[in-house]
Amino acid sequence: MPRNPPPPPGLVIVDKDRGPTSHDVVGKLRRIMGTRKVGHAGTLDPMATGVLVVGIERATKLLGHLSLDTKAYTATVRLGTGTDTDDAEGTPLGEPADTAGVTEDAVRAAMATLTGDIEQVPSAVSAIKIDGKRAYQRIRDGETVEIPARPVTVSGFALLGLCRDGPWCDLDVAVECSSGTYVRALARDLGAALGTGGHLTALRRTRVGPFTLEHARTVEELAAAPGLSLDVAAAVGTAFPRLDVDDAAADDVRFGRSLPAAGLAGTFGVFGPDGTALALMADRGPVARPVVVLAAAG
């Protein structure tokens, strides 16, 4: 029996529900899109919702570069106690603290200390590898994990609302940050700065690089009407600076050869005369070298 042709390559921007893992979403997209060549850029915790960028076919080559981009979130931080996972799924650490004296001014002042270029200790249950083993797996195996602080950038940390609920004080916040920033750790550190403890109760990713919830569809919507959010050319053109080249240079790119330096900062997309996205490249001194060839010769 003949196999169905593979789907066209591109990106699917998923609005992930609370509950499934990012790996679960990839599994469902493999069935929906009819291909094994599916991957995601930037894991979302099971409790988190929102933007998950998924690559189909050769667009999976873009994912490692997209996962390094900036991200935006809305979240709810509960003051009053920390947990061993820094979120609502963990075990509370000690008795609830009194939050009655916490004011909006105090919250904003504490948030300011966690804004900008900071050193952040990731959550112990993160996916960071410690001596080759995921931190969360070490925790599950009963080990004590100490993760060193890492530099991250929190370009925006804004208070959207404050609500008191019995002994608790719930903060609705918005976060703009670099890749590698843990919003759970921000909740933990905000609670520590206020002397109350704190943990995350809700998290929604609203943006990964240029891709927002406006691009996104739920898994259920995709199952009912499978299709890409952006083809490869649109994805590259949206996420990276663009360099258009002539036929001769396009042939060089297809064969993985270098081009004269383009004078563009960082990684950029190279497009042929017909609008095909040929490669991601980056200037290295006097030449631009391929980072990923998307349309190889042959």
Tokens representing 189 are: 């550190």
Alpha-carbon distances of 204 from 63, 180, 183, 201, 280, rounded to whole Å:
20, 16, 10, 11, 30
Tallying the residues shown for the chain, one arrives at 298
Amino acid (one-letter) located at 71: K
Tokens representing 256 are: 């993985």
Distance between CA atoms of 192 and 99, rounded to whole angstroms?
A: 12
CB atoms within 10 A of CB 255: 12
- Answer for the pair 147, 130: CB distance below 8 angstroms, yes or no: yes
Give 102's contacts (C-beta < 8 A, 6+ positions apart).
79, 169, 194, 196
CB atoms within 10 A of CB 109: 12
Catalytic: 45? yes
The active-site residue out of 45, 69, 189, 283 is 45
- Answer for the pair 277, 249: CB distance below 8 angstroms, yes or no: no
Distance between CA atoms of 147 and 135, rounded to whole angstroms?
A: 8
Amino acid (one-letter) located at 62: L
> Which is nearest to 11 in space by CA: 61, 83, 47, 80?
61
Local structure of residue 87 (DSSP, 8 states): B
Q: Could you give the residue numbers annotated as active site?
A: 45
